[in-house]
Amino acid sequence: MSGLSPLGVRDLAAAVRSGEVSAVEVAEEALARGEQLGTALGVFVETTPDLALRQAAETDRRLRTEPDRVGPLAGVPCPVKTLSRVAGVATHGGSGALDPVVPDVDDGVVTLLREAGTTMTGTTSAPELGLPCYTEPEGLPPAATPWDPDRSAGGSSGGAAAAVAAGLAPVASASDGGGSIRIPAACCGLVGLKPTRGLVSAGPWGQPGPGLVSQGALTRDVADTALLLDVLAHPWPGDAPVGRPGSFLAALQRPPGRLRVGVLTEPLIAADAPVHPGALRAVARTAASLEALGHSVEPLTRPFGPEAWLPFRALWAVGALSAPVPADREHLLRPLTRWLRGLGREVAGLEYAEAVRATQVLTQQVGTAWQHVDVVLTPTLAQPPWRHGEVRDDDDPAADFLAQTAVTPWSSVWNITGAPSISLPLHTEVVDGVRLPFGVLLGGRAGRDAELLALAAQLEQADPPEPLPFLR
């Protein structure tokens, strides 16, 4: 069997399990495609061919001798975001200021991916400490959207998104502390889910800070995203219980019922940010599909002013400061990172505690203002994928930060509230002579990830996305 790159997670796993193709053959093709395209698209920090072929050979052995011990993702290539810990594989947090560290223990998510049978083909690129919404790491090419390699794949899971959108793998691990799964999904025409807080465990290392970050994956369709959530949504010993309604993949077979959907196109955290007409048309198109499917659709207003978002900046700054950067290497950090760490040093302990409390109040404000709807629909991004360097501003990191909020003025509300949110690739338009994706963002209620995924699958079926460039 040849030409494996168009296959999604489910189809590729089925082909390996049936013996139509071996896991080693899949790994070899994925590695070859990565070697061909990875550098041009800024996908990898490091490829891991020896590890990939070793894992694939073990999968083939188990299929022959212990088929009952083979996981649901047997033989599926899945690169891992460089910010995750992978035993035996070096990481430096996307920063040239940090010495590489080789962990001897996997992250919990990496453990689950290994146990599910994936083949790790490399570590994907991320910006320094995962902070910006663009992926332009020091010493590496920028992560590019395959729709137009002169434009960004987003961040911080930019390398992961480029890998999946270019057919280097059908899935890649990702994480999201302010939109870092959903922003790259929108830039690259993919599906990206930030699950309910705590549904995917932060074990064994724990959740940094106030719980903004969720682990997940980037895929090409909703069903593959649901399957990955089935794999990843398992508690670590000691976790607080989080409800899980059986299989998320199976839940796609159950219609979500008639839902109340609120539509918001006004920016949430950058009041004067311009919104591209294509982003507005993407939302209007999705709202029309929702109405045609029988859902109730109504306009929403912003539940708070931009000043309510200042605590998020304080938490983000303290998060940047928490990275263990030696004092004599601070000057090697990017200007944006140094600026954020400087802000973090100005946040006193009581101020930090107040910022955490303020986010809890904000969560209650949002819940109260939007309690009459089940789902909120917004654009994922205010602009189409931007050109490399267009958002980044090393000369003025404060302007850099403001530019990031202007292009991503919706996503981080779901990190604050902890509720699930998914970006869907339901619209494309020609911009400056190039067809580009415009993602739409659906946000659900906490703990109702299955309902959100079922609605996303409905929309995907009713209005199928434009094929990715490599599939045309």
Q: What does the pLDDT look like over 349-408, one tens digit per residue?
A: 999 999 999 999 999 999 999 999 999 999 999 999 999 999 999 999 999 999 999 999
For CA atoms 30, 36, 39, 40, give the dihedral sign.
negative
Q: What does the pLDDT look like over 321-330, one tens digit per residue?
A: 999 999 999 9
At residue 254, the pLDDT reads: 93
Residue 291 inside a domain? The answer is yes
Residue 321 inside a domain? The answer is no
Residue 94 inside a domain? The answer is yes
Residue 333 inside a domain? The answer is no
Please state, for a pLDDT cut of 70, what percent of the chain lies above it.
100
Would you state the structure tokens that stand for residue 315, as one six-digit string? Answer: 């938490």
Reported as half-sphere exposure (CB side, CA atoms, 13 A), residue 294 has a value of 6
At residue 1, the pLDDT reads: 46
Residue 327 inside a domain? The answer is no
Would you state the structure tokens that stand for residue 98, as one six-digit string? Answer: 């940090």
Residue 279 inside a domain? The answer is yes
At residue 272, the pLDDT reads: 87
Q: Where are the alpha helices (DSSP H) in 212-264?
A: 222-232, 248-251
Q: Which residues are catalytic?
A: 81, 156, 180
Domain containing residue 285: 9-307+343-471
Whether pLDDT at 44 is above 50: yes
Would you state the structure tokens that stand for residue 6, as one six-digit string? Answer: 């168009």
Residue 334 inside a domain? The answer is no
Q: What does the pLDDT look like over 331-353, one tens digit per residue?
A: 999 999 999 999 999 999 999 99
Q: What does the pLDDT look like over 159-215, one tens digit per residue?
A: 999 999 999 999 999 999 999 999 999 999 999 999 999 999 998 888 877 899 999
Please state, for a pLDDT cut of 90, what percent of the chain lies above it.
90
Give the CATH number, domain containing residue 286. 3.90.1300.10
Of 174, 58, 165, 195, nearest to 118 (Cα)? 58
For CA atoms 125, 95, 206, 243, give the dihedral sign.
negative
At residue 438, the pLDDT reads: 99
Count of domains for the chain: 1
Q: What does the pLDDT look like over 87-144, one tens digit per residue?
A: 999 998 899 899 899 999 999 999 999 999 999 999 999 999 999 999 999 999 999 9
Residue 335 inside a domain? The answer is no
Residue 267: which residues within 8 A CB-CB, separation 6 or more? 273, 275, 382, 406, 409, 410
Backbone angles phi, psi at 300, to 5 degrees: -115, 155
